[in-house]
Amino acid sequence: MLYHRHDERLWGLLSFLLTGELAQEGGDWVFRPARFLPGMGIGGLRGYWRFVMQGRRTAAAYLARRGLPRPQVAWDEMRAGLDLARQMAEEER
């Protein structure tokens, strides 16, 4: 089960994942959590670092399984988008 929340601008992200078993008991469904996996916003800087590093490992394994190269990031386009978002935020104020 994935939980996440954030504000209306998608800042302040908090997330975690619970793994476990979903079973039917009588007429009800019951979730029995077995493992807690912290995501963004949990564990401070150490938690953030752990989240980023796990994402890097997961991505590397995904690419390796498929024999794909690591994609190149268009940093100039990313910066332009960030500049535009900042400009739009300033205009809202």
Render pLDDT for 57-90 as a digit per residue (tens, 0 to 9).
999 999 999 999 999 999 999 999 999 999 998 8
Whole-prediction pTM: 0.52
Most confident region among 29-33, 38-42, 44-48 by mean pLDDT: 29-33
For position 91, what pLDDT does the model report?
87
Exposure b/e, 4-37, CB count within 10 A at least 16 = b? eeeeeeeeeeebbeeeeeeeeeeeeeeeeeeeee
Give the pLDDT of residue 69.
Answer: 96
Residues in the chain: 93
Dihedral angle at the C-alpha atoms of 81, 87, 88, 91, nearest 10 degrees? 180
**Mean predicted confidence (pLDDT) in 10-30:** 92
Average pLDDT over the chain reads 91
Instruction: Using a pLDDT cut of 70, give the percent of the chain over it.
Output: 100
CA distances (Å), origin 74, targets 56, 71, 79: 18, 10, 9
